[in-house]
Chain A
């Protein structure tokens, strides 16, 4: 049976992790490569890097991080943040990323989804949706959540699928950072509207939130940053809990 993926996310600024985890074994807690390796050793099913650097000189350090991580982590690696065009995607893939996540650029130029998924294969194009509740539905926000596009999240999700994206990374802006759990209504609505995997993100605070996102939200994968960053929960713990709740997770490396 296909397993539910547990994906830790690392926010990287100019090649350094912004919120560090407290792995005692790490020599350098700000080094994304070491943190990614620690996550992968612990059983992460994928690793996601979000490049949050705002300047234009940011590419080089991120490329370096990706290529070093790809030499040490033998699980899929997704990179997102500031991806504007085909060249950016290509650069990340060549450095060793398996998937590239696009957000604002996909809204500004939706044909980028078509072009990139055709060129690199739809499995490596992830489109990120930052959604926020507006009366009955949800609107898509861009530019790090600062701009309301007025676009309905459900119709945008369907559009993304039609254009060839392989996956949707769905973040609830209402829940992000709150630790109140995923927006289950949003997750299940989007997940049942499309036939591509949906990664739920934003709001995880406790073990049960992971379970709910999968069971009630219908997510194919769950992504979390803070709970892992601050070691409130470990990946091992989450997987053991989910397994005890009869959720299919990969556990073959847990005891090594």
Chain B
């Protein structure tokens, strides 16, 4: 049986994520918890860290729940499948530069910096559906694309809404990108850790297939 934990740290679009997980697990034996309790964290089989808001306030929210060390134990040591969405992915970085300079969780090397607006030629936030570029084939993407049943990868897009970009250090941890003036990191992956800049819970068929694939991990 699956035990999906959506970490509640006082911010984020928890309901949307909850609804989407509910949809993709409709006929399965699956429990979805929205919580920040250590007990639930221990019981969980899959962990999702959503995020809407500013880097620092999200991070502070997470730290306030006092689950950080347990979360790190579950993800970094016990290797439970983990998905960070939007700021939930950005928080994994070494550093974030939204409204100052802040240390992130440091699970994935890199820095989160404001998208260059190309001398005011680009509208910020980067908001809407953007084409995905798959940089490499992983077990995850293979499984995902099989579900999508598309012949042309250029037809796949996802919903983004953000002003900052995760410039990750290790190229091999970058799986999907998109383009908005600059290269935008859309999906990162490192062992059991997955992060997406786009919102799978708002990316319709593609997003639901993505979440389904995530729940098949582990």
Q: A residues touching B (Cβ–Cβ < 8 Å)? A: 1-5, 40, 45, 67, 70-71, 74-76, 94-96, 98, 120-124, 166-167, 195-197, 220-221, 248, 250-253, 256
Contact = CB atoms under 8 A, between A and B. Distances in A.
> Which 6 A-B pairs give the minimum distances between C-beta atoms?
A3-B129, A250-B129, A123-B161, A252-B155, A2-B130, A121-B53
Please tell me the size bucket of the interface on B. Answer: 35 or more
B204 A123 contact: no
Nearest to B159: A76
Nearest to A44: B204
Given A96-B19, A220-B123, A197 B53 contact: no
A121 B206 contact: no
Interface in B129-162: 129-131, 148, 150, 155-157, 159, 161-162
15 contacts: A1-B130, A2-B130, A3-B131, A70-B15, A71-B19, A74-B201, A96-B16, A96-B19, A98-B13, A122-B163, A123-B125, A123-B161, A196-B124, A220-B127, A253-B204
Q: Which of A45, A250, A253 has the most CB of B within 10 A?
A: A250
B123 A121 contact: no
Nearest to A191: B123
B202 interface: yes
Given A74-B203, A197-B125, A220-B123, 15 more contacts: A2-B130, A3-B128, A70-B15, A74-B202, A74-B204, A75-B202, A75-B203, A76-B159, A76-B161, A96-B19, A98-B13, A98-B202, A120-B53, A121-B52, A196-B123
B155 A251 contact: yes
A195 B52 CA distance: 21
Contacts of B148: 252
Contacts of B20: 74
Contact of A74 (B124, B128, B162, B207): B207
Contact of A75 (B23, B156, B179, B204): B204
A153 to B, nearest CB: 18
Main secondary structure of the interface of B (DSSP, over half): mixed
A195 B16 CA distance: 28
A167 B127 contact: yes
A123 B202 contact: no
B162 A123 contact: yes
A215 B206 CA distance: 28
Contacts of B204: 40, 74-75, 253
A74 B23 contact: yes
Interface of chain A: mostly helix, strand, loop or mixed: loop
A221 B204 CA distance: 18
A121 B51 CA distance: 11
Interface in B162-218: 162-163, 179-180, 201-208
A167 B163 CA distance: 13
Contact of A124 (B52, B123, B159, B201): B52
Interface string B17-42: 00110110000000000000000000
Max chain A Cβ within 10 angstroms of own Cβ: one of B19, B23, B126: B19
Interface string B87-130: 00000000000000000000000000000010010111111111
Contact of B127 (A67, A74, A197): A197
A123 B198 CA distance: 13
A87 B199 CA distance: 25
Given A121-B54, A123-B52, A252-B155, A195 B123 contact: yes
A137 to B, nearest CB: 22
B123 A197 contact: yes
A195 B121 CA distance: 8
Find the residue from A45, A76, A95, A166 having the highest chain B CB count within 10 A: A76
Contacts of B52: 120-121, 123-124
Contacts of B208: 74
